[in-house]
Amino acid sequence: MHSYPDASTVVRAFSPDQPVILNRPHAAARAARFFAEKFPGKSLYAVKANPSPDLLQILWDAGVTHFDVASIAEVRLVRSLLPEATLCFMHPVKTKSAITEAYTQHGVRTFSLDTAEELQKIVEATGGAQDLNLLVRLRVSSEYSELSLASKFGVDLADAAALLRNVRQHCDALGICFHVGSQAMTPFAYVQALERVRAAIAEAAVTVDIVDVGGGFPSCYPGMEPPPLEDYFALIARHFEALPISYSAELWCEPGRALCAEYSSLIVKVEKRRGTELYINDGAYGALFDAAHVAWRFPVQALELDLIQPHDEFSFYGPTCDDADFMKGPFMLPADIQAGDYFEIGMLGAYGAAMKTGFNGFGEAIAVTVTDEPMASLYRGDRADPRSSDNVISLR
Ligand SMILES: *Cc1c(COP(=O)(O)O)cnc(C)c1O
């Protein structure tokens, strides 16, 4: 893939009519090295955040060896690219055929579940296998996170003990996992969840071999600037070590967003301006799903040199004919931006570039590599925080 210094160079080279995805392999590799070196346990990359084959290879090369997969298609994808990788099937509701294929053809030994019915399914689908790592998904609060994952999955604490004892009979290693919700803005989200893990273990009186604190590690967006990741890691380590578990118990995590948010940004073109609404060539059915559906604010920056007015607040319409193709923002751009101008939308590597659809005939985009820094980074080493840390939060 051809590589360019930055977004402006790409605009000058192509004047592109389609959106252009800008990938930053160095940023994803840096995030992966950070987790591989600093998380006090094993880091599984949550593939759903961005399943791009290039990205999977970058993460593997940078030291991520375990992958959290949630569908048989993700199992096949990662296995075909990375024959040596360890795959963990962490969706608590799977089809029997998916479990059988994952176990017999792709070497998957780790599965999550949150009901006795799912346990039965796993036992049958693997022919009563004796070499399984089974992780019980516990429901925990999402109150400290920007996106909830609390309602769909997870056994309630009141029912956890019975399920843990039941699962213990059918596995080699027993684990407990949870998800505090995506973009957890404080490490106390994990402290609170680990307290619930403690209660479940005490009640069940079983030996637990794996504690998996899930995803939720934040990235950096306008108005959402989290404390350093080291704070999360330190608190998780401290509360993990205080659990009533065996000395050899393992600590796992499943970062999605934190490993890939910095990987991609997007160049878009303004097709029309109506007041402070910009009609652009990507939107709710493209890389801006979260901007439309949960009013996520992504950083933006103008790419024209002749824009001189101070920033104003803009909202965006995407290219489809659908009223819902609307991103409220506010997004801060020079007040004199107009039709024909280009700008860059940052931090789209997680749940952004990966979500593009072809709805309404739009969705085509070219992808190129750029070598400049992402608009914000948690890993750059120039953190604007008085605490000494190599974990950073600077938005430019
Ligand atoms: C989505 C998901 C993740 C990744 O979550 P992030 O908030 O992106 O870190 C991890 N584990 C499970 C089970 C998930 O569903």
CATH class of 26-260: alpha beta
Q: Report how far residue 188's alpha carbon sits from residue 61's, in angstroms, rounded to the nearest whole number.
A: 32
Q: Which two tokens stand for residue 374?
A: 């992402």
Q: What is the pLDDT of residue 380?
A: 80
Q: Which two tokens stand for residue 332?
A: 């801060």
Q: Could you tell which of 42, 140, 149 is best to mutate to test the pocket of ligand 1, judged by most ligand atoms within 8 Å of the CB?
A: 149
Which residue's C-alpha comes closest to atom 10 of ligand 1? 215
Q: What is the pLDDT of residue 354?
A: 83
Q: What is the pLDDT of residue 393?
A: 41
Q: What is the pLDDT of residue 382?
A: 56
Q: What is the mean pLDDT of each run of 10 residues along the chain (396 residues)?
A: 91 96 97 96 98 98 98 98 98 97 98 98 97 97 86 93 98 98 96 97 97 97 94 97 94 98 98 98 95 94 92 97 95 97 98 88 90 94 51 42
177: helix, strand or coil: strand
Q: What is the pLDDT of residue 152?
A: 87
Q: Where in the chain is the domain with CATH 3.20.20.10?
A: 26-260
Q: Could you tell which of 112, 254, 378 is best to mutate to test the pocket of ligand 1, judged by most ligand atoms within 8 Å of the CB?
A: 254
Q: What is the pLDDT of residue 361?
A: 85
Which CATH architecture best describes the domain 3-22+264-370? Answer: Beta Barrel (2.40)
167: helix, strand or coil: helix
Q: How far from the centroid of its chain's Cα atoms is residue 85's Cα?
A: 19
Q: Report how far residue 21's alpha carbon sits from residue 4's, in angstroms, rounded to the nearest whole number.
A: 12
Q: What is the pLDDT of residue 2?
A: 80
Q: What is the pLDDT of residue 1?
A: 61
Q: What is the pLDDT of residue 381?
A: 67
| Ligand 1 centroid, distance to 182 Cα (angstroms) | 7
Largest CA distance in the chain: 69
Q: Where in the chain is the domain with CATH 2.40.37.10?
A: 3-22+264-370
Q: Is the shortest distance between the CB of 110 and ligand 1 below 6 Å?
A: no
Phi-psi domain of 347 (left: phi exceeds 0; alpha: psi -120 through 50; beta: other)? left
The CA distances from residue 322 to 189, 269, 282, 285, in Å, are 37, 18, 13, 10
9: helix, strand or coil: helix
120 contacts 181 by C-beta, under 8 angstroms: no
Cα-flanking dihedrals φ and ψ of residue 376, to 5°?
Answer: -145, 150
